[in-house]
Amino acid sequence: MSRALLPFTLLLLGVSSSFAGLSGQELLHLDERLLSLDRLSLKGGVDRARPDTPELWSRSLVEPIKPSVGPENAGLRSLLVPGLGQLALGNRRGWAYAGLELLGWLWYFDRRVKGTDLRREYRDYAWQKARLQSGPRVDGDFDYYEVMSQWERSGHFDLDLGREGTQPELNPSYYNGLIWTRALGIFSVGQSSGPGDPEYESAIRYYEQYAYGTGFLWSWTGTPGGRSTYADIIRKSDDRFRQARNAVGFVIANHLVSAADAFVSGRAGLDIETHVGPGMGGSGVMLAARLGTSWH
């Protein structure tokens, strides 16, 4: 009859090996006294009079799984390098966070490179198709190229180079003309005002600050459809740079989520507790297992 329980003993060892593979810990320790053929014999029953019986039949055969690093340490590792804390805890989910980190940076550099290429393209296009090349090429800032996509012509900066001082563009349908019209309104320049009047001089200073000078004038009138094509290139470039910023946000979020996950995983331990006790009716043995989560 004792040999009949040998398969049951092997089953216990198999369960122990399975849990060891899942947790990365050593094989579950089963007290050899509990697995002896004499102890497991249905014929022999359970000896309740032996002093070691309460200890043997009530003990946990599977120790709670303890992480190799603390929750704070695991969280800090994943905050610095996503997935590192999970891997230190023996959790393969860390590879997923590491993969997302790599994809995020690849996405960022790809968008940055393409955005930079498109920026170079629309600057070249503007120089070749619209800008009035009165001297060496000087690239403007981002706002300058945005304004070029919205206005057909800049107009003149100085209508009469032969006269002393700046003679502003007067046509408000041109960009520089709009700036002068705005300056007149801001400083309340009257119809009779002219050079030398405080209001007029203040308006001139405003115009010279915000209107585009000789080296940055443009006109799309000689390139039908050119401004539309140019605006489309700018839009594509803006989209690529915006996607690059989104990629940075994705990377930051991956760091934070990975850190939080590692911290929680470090706090939560898996308890697998197994008890061996008398079988039904006081004969044989009974195996009971409990799977749960404990917090350290």
* Residue 83, Ramachandran bin (φ over 0: left; ψ between -120 and 50: alpha; else beta): left
Q: What pLDDT does residue 191 have?
A: 85
Tokens of 47: 């000896």
Q: What is the pTM of this model?
A: 0.63
Per-residue pLDDT of the chain (296 residues; tens, 9 = 90+): 444 444 444 444 444 444 344 344 443 444 444 445 454 444 444 444 444 444 443 444 444 445 568 889 999 999 999 999 999 998 899 999 999 999 999 999 999 999 999 999 999 999 999 999 888 999 999 999 999 999 999 999 999 988 888 999 999 999 999 999 999 999 999 888 888 899 999 999 999 999 999 999 999 999 999 999 999 999 999 999 999 999 999 999 999 999 999 999 888 754 333 344 455 554 444 444 444 444 44
Q: What is the CA radius of gyration of the chain?
A: 40
Q: What pLDDT does residue 271 have?
A: 34
Q: Tell me phi and psi for residue 216, to 5 degrees.
A: -125, 20
Q: What pLDDT does residue 53 have?
A: 46
Q: 93: closest CA among 280, 249, 264, 208?
A: 264
Q: 209: closest CA among 243, 229, 173, 183?
A: 183
Quote the CA–CA distance of 46 and 14 in Å, as a whole number. 24
Q: What pLDDT does residue 76 have?
A: 95
Question: How far is Cα of residue 245 from the mean position of the Cα atoms in its chain?
Answer: 10
Quote the CA–CA distance of 107 and 100 in Å, as a whole number. 10
Sign of CA dihedral 202, 205, 211, 214: positive
Quote the CA–CA distance of 69 and 269 in Å, as a whole number. 12
| Long-range contacts at 292-296 (CB < 8 A, ≥ 24 apart) | 293/268, 293/269, 294/64, 294/268, 294/269, 294/270, 295/267, 295/268, 295/269, 296/66, 296/71, 296/266, 296/267, 296/269
Q: What pLDDT does residue 192 have?
A: 85
Question: How far is Cα of residue 61 from the mean position of the Cα atoms in its chain?
Answer: 43
Q: What pLDDT does residue 266 have?
A: 86
Q: Do 154 and 176 meet the contact criterion of CB atoms below 8 Å apart?
A: yes
Q: What pLDDT does residue 194 have?
A: 87
Tokens of 253: 């979020």
Q: What pLDDT does residue 134 have?
A: 80
